[in-house]
Amino acid sequence: MLFDHESAWADEQIYNKIYENSIKFPNEFWTHHIKDISWQKEPDSAFDEISEKWLSGGISNVCYNCVDRHALKNPNKPAIIWYGDEENDRREISFSKLLDIVTKIASILKSRGIKKGDVVGIYMPMVPEAIAAMLACARIGAIHLVIFAGFSAEALAYRLSSANAKVLLTINAFKRGGKEVNLSKNFDLLKSDIKIINLENLENYKVELTNEINWQNSEDDLFILYTSGSSGNPKKIVHSALPYMLYVTTTFKIIFGIKEDDVYFCTSDIGWITGHSYITYAPLFYGLTTVIFSGSPTYPTADRYWKIIEQEKVSIFYTAPTAIRSLQMFNKKFVKDHDLSLLRILGSVGEPINKSAWKWYFETVGNKKCPIMDTWWQTETGGIVIAPLRSLHQKPAVAGRPFFGIKTNIIYSELIIENKWPGICKTSKSHEVFKTGDGAIYDGNDIKISGRMDDVINISGHRLGTAEFECAINKINEVKESAVVAVPDEIKGQTAFAFVVLNDNKNSIPDIIKKIIKSTRNIIGPIAKADFVAFVPDLPKTRSGKIVRHLLRDVANNRKNLSEIHSVANPKAIEFAKIAASQAIFCPDMCRL
Ligand code: WTA
């Protein structure tokens, strides 16, 4: 029997049956789905339960599956439709054109001596060449390392050197929200001798073209991506080529119930995992048109998304709660003036979606006709792990059910995964369980995610470590030490609240605040900004000198019952923190001074 991917995630009884089987017989479930992949050599098994290996013996290539096979079958179908900052900035790249661009970039990389297993940095905005660059790496077996174009020179340099990247693919500048974003000033600051390949005028590059594909096996790596964890340094995540491809494409097909003529628009960025899994690899693998946008949703007017959906006849739209909340503030007319009737499915990712945003998304954007796929997952999981069943009777803001083959559990309020799945990153230790760091509760048979339990802040869907903020703040001469915690924000979901202890100094508070803002901007990037700063004489610490951040989080959030008071060796610091928090300085006001 053919697997009916449209009803598998839409009908509760069918879901339950497939789910139970997929947990008991994972090899059987995944064997169904490896058929979507074009193999050079088929694997011996989808999942070998004894060795816990995925796709062992299989040989294929991710780029071949996403580009070549569609360029052969449907050469003129648009693979990528790009919109830029101005409304008439539009480019359409067919599958055959995409193959040309990918081949050209792959040939340039080869001519520069890049071989299988070499790491290639990509520091580019959302332009078709950025996606082609990722695919070109996959084609020759190089490992791509995308660095979000909003990161600073220092963040770029750290990632390139710690991953030992051999070259950097980039362009000089791009426009967003009517302003020019200059990337070249950042890569010019790099103190390393890394070779820079500027893809701005690709047509002018003279290079001998080579069509060669480097076939990948199940052990080969596809990419490295840095994310934030609880330490001061970004966390390196590595994903394998073939098992990762199997996972993202299967989740995409089943959860969104894709159809051949779907036009798909995801507003994320290749700098994040969503831009890898669900802008680049999953839609192109199935030969769908992926719409990308490098502008700002509110420039020149707050209807850019809705206009693009109307013009391109988008049927699946995938965005983040922070974007929904910021667009919800505008008059409904911005949405209602556009014909969005071809939308079939709406997706949300990156942070918990609140009820009011959910309702607005469902009613105003989806016209009560589109299920909201609130998808929970992480850089580490490769693809979607939890999503609600596709129905118009969903519970608002409840993530839903685990994907087939994934055994979730909630232990001490934390969501964990108890078995192996093909999308798990290679860098995760092969412990028995995979800890997510997210709090969760059951709501009937559904899982509801409450948010991070560790020292990670989610600002506008951007995952940032409090320790990264602290490192940047502590670099300022006047600062002795600091502790950064998350507080809620109406639009961004969360924002950073910094408790700062100063050395004896004579500098004025506005000057110190400006230095704090500048330092986080230079070391991490403009997305990392502490909105609140509270100056304290001391921080609450344990007897062994560890800052008690949970307690500071309670104080910053104005909670009555403080946790972990018993572990504090200097209780006076709690009182200081309370007073300072009530008088915290709101930095955006400060910037206007
Ligand atoms: C959060 C992004 C609630 C969560 C794909 C997770 C979510 C972190 C959701 C991973 C959701 C992502 N509901 N929270 N639907 N999706 N998160 O690695 O805290 O950038 O651990 O991956 O985002 O962020 P990352």
Atom 12 of ligand 1, nearest CA residue: 350
CB of 269 within 6 A of ligand 1: the answer is no
Q: Ligand 1 pocket check: which of 377, 425, 428 to mutate, most ligand atoms within 8 Å of Cβ?
A: 377
Count of CB atoms within 10 A of residue 559's CB? 11
Going from the Cα of 107 to the center of ligand 1, the distance in angstroms, rounded, reads: 36
CB of 227 within 6 A of ligand 1: the answer is yes
Atom 14 of ligand 1, nearest CA residue: 351
In this prediction, residue 308 carries a pLDDT of 98
CB of 375 within 6 A of ligand 1: the answer is yes
In this prediction, residue 563 carries a pLDDT of 79
Q: For residue 481, what are the contacts with CB-CB under 8 A and spacing of at least 6?
A: 470, 474, 500, 501, 539, 547
Atom 13 of ligand 1, nearest CA residue: 352
How far CA 499 is from CA of 206, 534, 574, 587, in Å, comes to 55, 5, 12, 13
Mapped onto helix, strand or coil, the DSSP state of residue 188 is helix
User: In the predicted model, is pLDDT for residue 592 greater than 60?
Assistant: no
What pTM was estimated for this model as a whole? 0.94
In this prediction, residue 431 carries a pLDDT of 65
Region 14-18: what's the mean pLDDT?
97
In this prediction, residue 388 carries a pLDDT of 97
CB of 233 within 6 A of ligand 1: the answer is no
- Looking at the chain, the whole-number percentage of residues with pLDDT higher than 70 is 98
Residue written as tokens 């408790």? 499
Region 482-499: what's the mean pLDDT?
95
Average pLDDT, the chain: 94
User: In the predicted model, is pLDDT for residue 1 greater than 70?
Assistant: no
CB of 499 within 6 A of ligand 1: the answer is no
User: In the predicted model, is pLDDT for residue 562 greater than 90?
Assistant: no
Confidence of residue 299 (pLDDT cuts 50, 70, 90): very high
Residues 410-427 have pLDDT tens digits of 999 999 999 999 999 998
DSSP calls for 220-289: -EEEEEEE--SSSSPEEEEEESHHHHHHHHHHHHHHTT--TT-EEEE---TTSHHHIIIIIIHHHHTT-E
Region 263-275: what's the mean pLDDT?
97
In this prediction, residue 230 carries a pLDDT of 77
Straight-line distance from the first to the last Cα atom of the chain, in angstroms, rounded to the nearest whole number: 68
User: In the predicted model, is pLDDT for residue 593 greater than 80?
Assistant: no
User: In the predicted model, is pLDDT for residue 383 greater than 90?
Assistant: yes
Region 212-234: what's the mean pLDDT?
92
Confidence of residue 204 (pLDDT cuts 50, 70, 90): confident
Region 163-174: what's the mean pLDDT?
96
Residues 319-363 have pLDDT tens digits of 999 999 999 999 999 999 999 999 999 999 999 999 999 999 999
DSSP calls for 396-465: TT--BEEPTT--EEEETTEEEE-S--TTS-TTS---SSEEEEEEEEEETTEEEEEEE-SSEEEETTEEEE
